[in-house]
Amino acid sequence: MSWDRWAITVEYLLAVALFVGFVVTYWVLTRGRWYRTTSGRFIMGFSASLAWLMVLAAVNAIFPEYPLRAVIRVTSFGALDLVGYFQLKLLLQAQRSRRRAKHAAVQMARERERNGYTDPADRR
């Protein structure tokens, strides 16, 4: 194995340690409750995806051919597609709820104005 192949393999293994370490640490620090929030699910899904990609890269660097290699790769990239879909869905939901909240605030202000409501703080 050439020196650059060794260097890349070592870098993959370091990345595996870092990303898997992050996933485990996040799980421990949140006491396994990361799934209760949207941001927690996003962080865990994204980090676990990166960790799995690094595991795949390291295994492929160490063992170029192994049983079920094609099945594992296809399944892994399919799972990454799901994570990408989930990220896009979260982004669109956040934007939609932000617009709805802004629209509701504008409607409430118009309603107050129409009904002659004045805020006590405005009387000063």
pLDDT along the chain (124 residues), means of 10: 83 90 91 84 85 86 82 84 86 80 72 69 58
97 vs 91: CA distance, rounded Å: 10
Residue 65: the pLDDT is 83
Residue 123: the pLDDT is 57
Which amino acid type is present at position 14? L
Residue 118: the pLDDT is 65
Residue 121: the pLDDT is 64
**Residues 33, 40: contact at Cβ < 8 Å?**
yes
pTM: 0.62
